[in-house]
Structure 1
Amino acid sequence: MASDTRDRILDALETLLLDVGVTQVTLEAVAGVAGVSKGGLLYHFPSKESLLASMVRRLGERSDQYLADAVAQGRTVSETYLQSPIGEGAPEISIYRSMLASMRSADGQHDEVQQAIADVMRSWDAGLLAEFDDPVQAEIVRLAGDGLYLAALLGLPDPDPDLHRRVVHRLLGTDPAN
């Protein structure tokens, strides 16, 4: 039950961040949207910074699970990292929503939140480095994936699907016919 309450509070925080931005988010507002008392919220999250950092850590857990599932299905880390950020499935949408809310929480005022975001953004580095003999190529793939995701977060137009596919094949050195 506590996990359900924690998730409900974190979902409420994401909703508020997406709707009004970090400057308008208060513990009282989050508690109200989550349907808990402020004391109930403080039981789980002793401060606004703790609440924000927990939201980002949950994003990291979801992202790690998404990657593990993709690899279990036979996809590589780099293919998964370079995919279009908004897929058709619920995990992609949930991660996208959490990432957007997390980015909106990064106001430079909370060291714990900034570190949690940095940890999430770099969490796939080891997997990318393991797939390439050249660390420069792994970094190029990471930067391209970051750019794709940031463009989606900003609402920029999706790249042409055929061009995107060709870019991924070139970056990964794979045969575009497959």
Structure 2
Amino acid sequence: MTATTRDRILDALETLLLEKGVSHVTLDNVAAAAGVSKGGLLYHFRSKDALLAGLVRRLGERADRQLTNAVAGGVSLAEWILQTPNPNDDADALELNLYRSMLASMRTVDAGARPESDEVQRALTDVMRGWSEQLDCEIGDPVRADIISLVGDGIYLRALLGMPPIDPRRYREVVRSLLDR
């Protein structure tokens, strides 16, 4: 499957964010890295904020695809949120793409944190709100759903930072306790 121009642009943005940092993210640099003209980039993303928000939205799309596959395999949303990410598993391209998107999206928050625009923050809020609403429906107790979400965020953050995971037996007990099993 060939990547769309939009995906090539977002891949280039993601790579710039991960390899060089937000200070290197300019429309010219992203266009050059994607192999498109600046006008071609602006056709897909009308501004730098729209470009950064597009990356965050793609994170949501990738997570939704991974979640759909997990649910089809019998995993609940809560279990998916509490999974330990494994970005080193080359066999799981969806997980690796999601991991890269998550890292790059975390860097967009600083890039989009300008008072004159909140498009990036709005995109991130929309993605997170969607997951929260689904989890609330699945769990039925909004406080417990928030606890599961916060623990899942912590698990993912540990992996993103390269911190060692907690003991697997202890982790299974945490998940069992949270899922009331």
Task: Kindly tell me the number of residue pairs found equivalent between the two proteins.
Answer: 174
CA distance in 1, matches of 2:139, 2:45: 40
Residue 102 (1) aligns with residue 105 (2):
yes
CA distance in 1, matches of 2:129, 2:102: 13
CA distance in 2, matches of 1:157, 1:111: 34
| Matched AA of 2:165 | D
* Percent identity of paired positions between Structure 1 and Structure 2: 59
| Matched AA of 1:34 | A
Residue 92 (1) aligns with residue 95 (2):
yes
Alignment correspondent of 1:33: 33
Unaligned runs of 5+ in 2: none
SS of the counterpart of 1:155? coil
Are residues 152 and 122 of structure 1, via their aligned partners in 2, closer, same or farther at CA, if it must alter by over 3 Å? farther
Structure 1 moving runs of 4+ over 4 Å? none
| Matched AA of 2:135 | L
Which residue of the other structure, out of 158, 169, 172, is the alignment partner of 2:176? 169
Shift of 1:134: 2.3
CA distance in 2, matches of 1:122, 1:15: 26
Are residues 94 and 3 of structure 1, via their aligned partners in 2, closer, same or farther at CA, if it must alter by over 3 Å? closer
Unaligned runs of 5+ in 1: none
Aligned Cα root-mean-square deviation (Å): 1.8
Alignment correspondent of 2:42: 42
Q: Is the 8 A contact 1:70 1:80 kept in 2?
A: yes
Deviates more, 1:66-75 or 1:118-127: 118-127
After TM superposition, the structure 1 = structure 2 runs for residues 15-164 of structure 1, keeping only pairs within 5 Å, are: 15-86=15-86, 88=89, 89-107=92-110, 108-109=113-114, 110-164=117-171
Shift of 1:32: 1.2
SS of the counterpart of 1:106? helix
SS of the counterpart of 1:122? helix
Q: Is the 8 A contact 1:21 1:105 kept in 2?
A: no
